Amino acid sequence: MQVLSPHLVYNMVIVLILKRKINMQKAIKHNSLRLVLIVFLSTLFSCSNDDSLSNLNETIFVRHKNADMPAYIHGNASEKVFLIILHGGPGGFGLAYRNATIKSDIEKEVAVVYFDQRGSGMAQGNYSKDGITIDIMAEDVLALAKVIKHKYGDDSKLFLMGHSWGGTLGPATLLKDQSPFLGWINVDGSGNTKGLYEAYIANFRRVANEQIAAENNVNYWESVIDFVDGLSPVYTNIDDMYDLNIEAFNAERKLEDLGLINKEKNQNSEVLYKYTPLTLIWNQLNTQSILDEDLFENIDFTDRFPEITIPSLVLWGRHDMVVPITFADEAYDNLGSSQKEVFIFERSGHSPMFSEPDLFAEKVMAFINAHK
């Protein structure tokens, strides 16, 4: 689960700037958004018979409970197979995943739906603590499924894939209604974020001791042990959780420098043209501040995993420091599907779709082809 501390000075400066401007721009944004939505929604439910389904390049909007959320659809929908990606965060953005072999290989076979979740990416809305919850966001995903089926036909075949935080939102969605989906793919995402704090500490100690024994970056890994030894053994406050998360990304960079994790390639320059940076930051800060306390104090779907019975694929990086690999076994062991598989990427950390992209595309497409 990727989180960035709201207490970072840079982000606080951005928030102050935005607060000064928000009242002046509110009316303009509201009217502009209304006009844009009228244009988009006028075509949203139009017949797709004239479209080239083999090479989709469309943006649709889902309007649900005071939020308007874009979904960017790219790829081959000739067989009406759609892979919906739930991005990380909370507060990430969909097109971050239009990269590497997701774009070059998976889009050749199926249509990929890059969805900006409520309070994320370029999604729009006025939010409160009651307006952004994991429960409402799960309903948003089901609303997206309905829009896709309405636009492209009830015979559309939907697969759901969640990465990191998306691997938390995915089970929340499926436990509401799994019937729209032919399969579920969990990529390094925990359905038990309540257990993440203690898992972090245990995993840091395990990896640090392994690396010290191998005489790799001994000073760094000794400092990691000192760091976790200075924390409470149980979750007490959000700041410790943010510090652990930041250190997890630092640790992955150390493992990457050692060659245990492949370096990521093919960064997505398209993001520069689709997103407004200030909107991304504004959405991320607000969404995290609303969701994070609940995630780390209360969310644990493990006991309900047996209710998820659709075909399921669990994909994980061996060296994931952000959501430790113990959660891969937890997810696989408890899923109720009779058709489930777990695969571990030996040269990956938290994002195997970018560190082992060819193998990632192969595993995803084999799963989709087996169950479409």
- For each of the domains in the chain, give its residue range(s) and CATH number, in order of start: 9-194+263-371 (3.40.50.1820)
User: Average of pLDDT values for 348-367?
Assistant: 98
Reported confidence tier of residue 209, pLDDT bands at 50, 70, 90 = very high
Q: Does 201 have pLDDT greater than 80?
A: yes
pLDDT above 70 (res 308)? yes
Q: Is the Cα torsion angle 209, 210, 213, 214 positive or negative in sign?
A: negative
For residues 318-336, give the mean pLDDT: 97
Asked if residue 47 has pLDDT above 90, the reply is no
Confidence tier at 268 by pLDDT (50, 70, 90): low
Does pLDDT of 112 surpass 70? yes
What is the structure's pLDDT at 269?
60
pLDDT for position 270: 66
Between 16 and 292, whose confidence is greater? 292
pLDDT value of residue 126: 73
What integer pLDDT is reported at residue 11 of this predicted model? 40
Query: What are the structure tokens assigned to 148, written together?
Result: 């896709």
Q: Which of 309, 366, 293 is nearest to 105 (CA)?
A: 366
Instruction: Calculate mean pLDDT across residues 329-358.
Output: 97
Burial class for 188, CB neighbours closer than 10 Å (0-12, 13-18, 19+) = buried
Confidence at 52, pLDDT banded by 50, 70, 90: confident
Residue 89 and residue 165: Cα distance in Å, rounded? 5
